Structure 1
C-alpha cells in the first residue's frame, strides 16, 4: 500500500498550480485531499507512535493553499522514508530467517 501512496503522490505533482507570481505552488483538488487523507490514515495505522505521524497530523490541522505544497513535500518524503525503513526491516528479517533455516 505504501508504494501505491508514494506513486500516487508523485503523480499529483502535475496537478500543482503556480501562484500568481510563479513564486510558489499549491494544490486545489479533491485528488490531493484524498491522497493526504489516505496517507495520514496509513501513518496512523502503521506508524502510530512515530513523531512523523504526529507532525503530519498537527500540520494537517493548519493546512491551506499557501502551505499545502510544502506539506505535500513533507508528506511524500515521510512516506518514502517510511518505506525505506520498512524495506530494511523486512530485509533484516529475511536474513535472520535464512540464518536459522537448517
Structure 2
C-alpha cells in the first residue's frame, strides 16, 4: 500500500457485502467479491479497506454507480436511494468467507 489512509475512514468505506445469486456466481467464476460502498469511496480506499479488514490481497477494484428506481404507492411517487458497488478482484488463492464472519 503506497498511500496512507485514515483507519477510521477505511472502516466506514465498506457498507455491506452484496450477497445474491449473481454475486455468488461472480465470486465462483472470477474470484471477485461484491461490496456496497459509500458514494464517495475511491478504488484505492476500497482496496485498502478490504485488505485491512479481511487480511487478503486485492488484485483490482471496479466500481459501478446504480441509480435508484422510481417507485409508486397510489398517488405518491418516491425514489430509492442511489448506491455504489465495488467489484473486488482477489489474487489467486485468496478467499473471503462471509458465513464464518471473516477471512478463510
- Provide the TM-score with structure 1 as the length reference: 0.29
The structure with the larger Rg is: 1
Q: When you count helix as a share of all residues, which structure comes out higher?
A: 1
